Amino acid sequence: MITVSDADAMRDLGRRLAPLLRAGDLVVLSGGLGAGKTTLVQGLGIGLDIRGPVTSPTFVIARVHPPLHGGPPLVHVDAYRIGDVAEVDDLDLDATLADSVTVVEWGEGKVEGLTEDRLELRIDRESDADETRTVTVTGVGARWDGVRLDPA
């Protein structure tokens, strides 16, 4: 578990996680409203050097951010309004998965079927009194075997 003190630290965590990611990676973010999922993706965008800004795709469901300097694109999805796996299939994420880093907010229970390998991040608020969050990072599948998931 990683403790994050505020929004800037959450962005920094995303920036530090980005070097672990490569084309074909699926990242599934979970946590309550206001937990910091989009803020973490902003940091990933900085670390992946993509064209931004990264904002919540709640109403458009998915956004593709092209790379600025040759890395993989970032596909940022908000599955909050998606009801089931059939609606995820309609997004055609499998068409871009191999060539992109795909990050899905609210994807738990909806996108695991896209690939056997994924990085899961659960963000929990410590209390309503401050901005402190606890981030649990779990690698699922052979892709993450031996990868150190607590970035320095």
Q: What's the rounded mean pLDDT across residues 3-24?
A: 92
Task: List, edge to edge, every strand of the sheet that includes 133-140.
Answer: 2-4, 133-140, 118-125, 26-31, 101-105, 74-78, 62-65
Identify the structural domains of the chain with CATH numbers, from first to last.
2-134 (3.40.50.300)
39, 52 contact by CB (below 8 A): no
Q: 14 and 40 in contact (C-beta within 8 Å)?
A: yes
SS3 106: coil
Backbone angles phi, psi at 94, to 5 degrees: -65, -20
Q: What is the pTM of this model?
A: 0.88
Which residues make beta-bridge pairs with 77? 62, 104
Q: Long-range contacts made by residues 54-57, C-beta under 8 angstroms, separation at least 24?
A: 56/105
Model pLDDT for residues 22-56, shown as the tens digit of each residue: 999 999 999 988 888 999 999 999 999 998 788 77
Q: What is the pLDDT of residues 83-133, one digit of tens each?
A: 666 666 666 566 677 788 999 988 788 778 788 899 999 999 877 778 889
